[in-house]
A and B are shown apart, each in its own frame.
Chain A
Amino acid sequence: MDFKSSDTIPGPRTEDRLPHTAEAAVKIVIVGGFGVGKTTMVGSVSEIRPLTTEETMTQAGIGVDDNYGSASKTATTVAMDFGRISITDELVLYLFGTPGQERFWFLWNGLFEGALGAVVLVDTRRLEVSFDVMGRLEERGVPFVVAVNSFPDAPRYPIAELRTALDLSEEIPILDCDVRRRASSRDVLLTLMRFLHSLAMKGALT
């Protein structure tokens, strides 16, 4: 269990290094049920091979700090895959998604609080698994769009029917996508950014 010698730790490839001018980063979170395609989406738009960070969380939900010195029987490890898109020489965008245990993300301090917004990925075969995640975003006031990852054997509902089922107001975008395709994943992110922009316009007027 020795820490690896620092000479052997693989770092970013030279071409994956950010320029020294990189001043700040922003993040977007991709949420949704298990197996809905979050990691695929991150991978399809990321400029780096997706990486994984993890956090150890306690069942009590107090935070991540309280269990280290003591017996960790109730500790749960939450892993998150993430990718990166350089926006300009000064600004970097990070995308976070995870293979599972999404309810525990909400214990990850600062993950949602600072995020510009979220993408809720849904699979129409299991629409209800995304209900809780949407509710938690609403409670925290995190703006989100809904992207329907089109699986071949999934039922197709008209957007209006989905909107009613998901109890979403007219302003919240719902769109179809194929997360394996870069252009499709990019369009989902652009839809989120346009939505955030429209909210900012409204906020500036009131």
Chain B
Amino acid sequence: MTPPQRQRRSPGQPSAPLPASGPAKEGENRNPERLFVIGGDEAGERADIDLVTLIVARAEPPVSATPEQAAVLRLCVAPLSAAELSAYLSLPFSVLTVLLTDLLAKELVQARAPIVRQKVADRNLLEAVMHGLQKL
């Protein structure tokens, strides 16, 4: 039996269109109003927050903090990735981003940027990751 045959693509090649989606099963019951409320001013600027940006609280929750803000500050007493925050708070990632943008503006949290892929990767970084994996 021969396997099916693929054809490789090259960088910059136009992408195939996304498939038409069926009904949004998981999204159907989502209440857009709630997203809007937590997100606040949806037209506002968002901080550049990656899934693996590490967030650390800089202060105790102030009295004026909303429950969502207070929750973030309590969770981030130790560094926590934005993805983990989104998971623990059960908030869609973009909603969390809005929340964090606000907390960053108020200087209540600090964001530690991730190390992203470079055209030529940092070999020391790759070696560190390899050594870490070898300990598993």
Q: Which residues of A contact B (CB under 8 A)?
A: 1, 3-6, 9-12, 17-20, 22-27, 45, 51-56, 59, 61, 64-65, 67-77, 79-80, 82, 84-88, 91-94, 96, 103-104, 106-108, 110-111, 113-117, 124, 127-128, 131-132, 134-136, 138-142, 155, 157, 161-162, 164-169, 182-183, 186, 189-190, 193-194, 196-197, 199-201, 203-204
Contact = CB atoms under 8 A, between A and B. Distances in A.
A68 B42 contact: yes
A183 to B, nearest CB: 8
B71 A103 contact: no
Given A6-B67, A72-B30, 13 more contacts: A4-B71, A6-B74, A11-B74, A19-B79, A24-B54, A25-B114, A91-B115, A103-B18, A127-B4, A132-B16, A135-B9, A136-B15, A139-B10
Q: A25, A64, A168, A204 — which one has the most chain B CB atoms within 10 A of its CB?
A: A25
Contacts of B87: 51-53, 82
8 contacts: A1-B31, A22-B112, A68-B32, A72-B24, A139-B13, A141-B11, A200-B122, A203-B120
Chain B residues touching A, range: 35 or more
A55 B127 CA distance: 32
Contacts of B27: 56, 72, 75-77
Contacts of A12: 75, 78, 80, 84, 88
Nearest to A10: B88
A186 B11 contact: no
Given A18-B79, A25-B114, A114-B50, A67 B32 contact: yes
B130 interface: yes
